[in-house]
Structure 1
Amino acid sequence: MYIIAVLGNLTILFIMTIELSLHGTMYYFLCMLAVTNLFLPISILPKTLSIFWFNSREIDFSAFLALVYFIHCFLVIESGIFVAMAVDRYVAICHPLRDSTILTNPVVAKIGLAMVLLGAMLILPYPFLASWRPYCRTNIIPHTHCEHKAAVKLACTDTRVSSYYGLFVLFCVKAFYIPHLFSSLMHWYGHNVALRLHVLIANMYLLLSPVLNPIIYGARTEQISKWLLRLFTHKGT
């Protein structure tokens, strides 16, 4: 899944770079989505694979906090890009004669910058809230990646602020992916749910999106699918 996610999103970026007909508003948002889906698995999978391949189960606390920040930041950015893509389709359908004047290149650039700033600022309290708490029980996170909620549950002090803020972030980004919502709610309320199910769902909601997005939003886009068809047809002849 890691290889498919990286190759799929790199392919989308490559096609949009060399094909001039794909330099439009919708494709700019697809490009932003591909970049986000490229960095999201990169921030998760190397450490996960090192656990399974090399039994490397330790990580420095500062590195852990950095990965917590980047993982959740990319998730928020991805959610914001989905909203921007929905707005782009709304403008194209409801105002087809004015879409090029409403969503100009500077406006698209500002929307992209706003999504990055939203993710950067909204997730910024996560590492600070986690670093200020004492951890006197254990230093073992029952996950294959750096989960903020899993770290909060190990703290030896009141964690209601982190819990409330985590739920605020969850609903603030419109819970764009159902497994993400399910995983988060299980952390706060599913105390009787098996640990293996926690880990499985957490891995799935982080991996499925980068794997499926290039297929759903890339290959199903007419211009991109035609370009891929021409490429493989040309190679076949």
Structure 2
Amino acid sequence: MTVHFIGAGPGAVDLLTLRGHKILSECPICLYAGSIVPKEMLDFCPSNAILIDTAPLNLDQIEAEYLKAHQAGQDIARLHSGDLSVYSAVSEQIRRLKKHNIPYTLTPGVPAFAAAAALIEKELTVPEIAQSVVLTRISGRASTMPQNEKLEAFAQTGSTLLLHLAIHRLDEIVERLTPFYGVNCPVVIAARVTWSNEQILKGTLGTIIDQFNQQPVERTALIMIGPALHEHQATESALYNIEYQRRFKTI
């Protein structure tokens, strides 16, 4: 018996990986995050599969489902939204599985920020403008931020900032970042990207609050901030420059 953690991707069912699809189609039990994983993805499960929505469950109850399946010798597909590597709550589940010597695997998924970047047709790293991407959040009810990971510390670098789980404090974010990026810095708010009801707001640190108040976005939104998001960029990578000396090239 094995518990298979699967990144379901941002929402669109055709962005689930082939590996994830294969595992889903073979597991007799599927635990899924019902509030953020599309129901259509469950159609990939066997017709007689047991489907368990984990949205109302706490960690102890989820652990109990793993134990029950382990005792029955049945594999479990555990669907999480986006990718497992960030803000997935996978680590605490793995600790419990290790405690019971229950095998597990991890299958990555398309992260929401990558889907959002594709939707707005932007590369998040632009030569000489921003070569780093920071995935972060601000302190909330679930957990506080480490002392050395303050928003201002990241803002000093001028990197592209991608803020998760923070849309409810947009006013505070704008206030804290404006001194570093300026009022004209681009901001994109992306919610439920690739879902049928996806929402995209484009503005600047000087305009985004008014735009948001006129068109509120739900709490699962991603906030994207940084000069790399400007509509017009003048710099180009040297990688494909005719003068660039390539290690591998045809004659």
Structure 1 length normalisation: TM-score? 0.27
Larger radius of gyration: 2
| Higher RCO (C-alpha 8 Å, min separation 6) | 1
Structure with more of its chain in strand, by fraction: 2
Structure 2 length normalisation: TM-score? 0.26
Structure with more of its chain in helix, by fraction: 1
